[in-house]
């Protein structure tokens, strides 16, 4: 399960980066700097894509592990919380990028 924990940490890093770039996108757009706004948007989308790839990897790993091992309830709860946070933050970032 350490492997899953590490992947979750990587997802969090990618989401943080995406959020920062999305905020920069919104700020640049508000200042009328369309070129930089578009670049920050692209950078945020790249970070979101990385987070999605890592999320898919985590889900795949969990499914594979679940075939032979049933994790304790606390581990399942930790994954569900991390998954929920990922989905919510990714959705918020995507909304920011539509501004």
Cα 80 from Cα 41, distance rounded (Å): 28
Residue 43, pLDDT score: 98
Integer-rounded Cα Rg, in Å, for the chain is 16
Residue 5 near residue 80, CB atoms below 8 Å? no
Residue 74, pLDDT score: 87
More confident residue, 69 or 20: 20
pLDDT per residue as tens digits for the range 43-88 = 999 999 999 999 999 999 999 988 898 888 888 898 999 999 999 9
Residue 98, pLDDT score: 94
**What pTM, to 2 d.p., does this model score?**
0.89
């Amino acid at each position: 399960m350490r492997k899953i924990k590490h992947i979750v940490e990587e997802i969090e890093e990618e989401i943080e980066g995406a959020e920062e770039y999305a905020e920069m996108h919104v700020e640049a757009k508000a200042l009328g700097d369309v070129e930089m706004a578009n670049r920050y948007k692209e950078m945020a989308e790249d970070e979101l894509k990385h987070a999605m790839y890592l999320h898919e990897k985590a889900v795949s790993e969990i499914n594979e592990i679940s075939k032979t091992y049933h994790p304790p309830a606390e581990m399942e709860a930790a994954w569900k919380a991390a998954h929920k946070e990922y989905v919510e933050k990714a959705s918020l970032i995507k909304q920011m990028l539509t501004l």
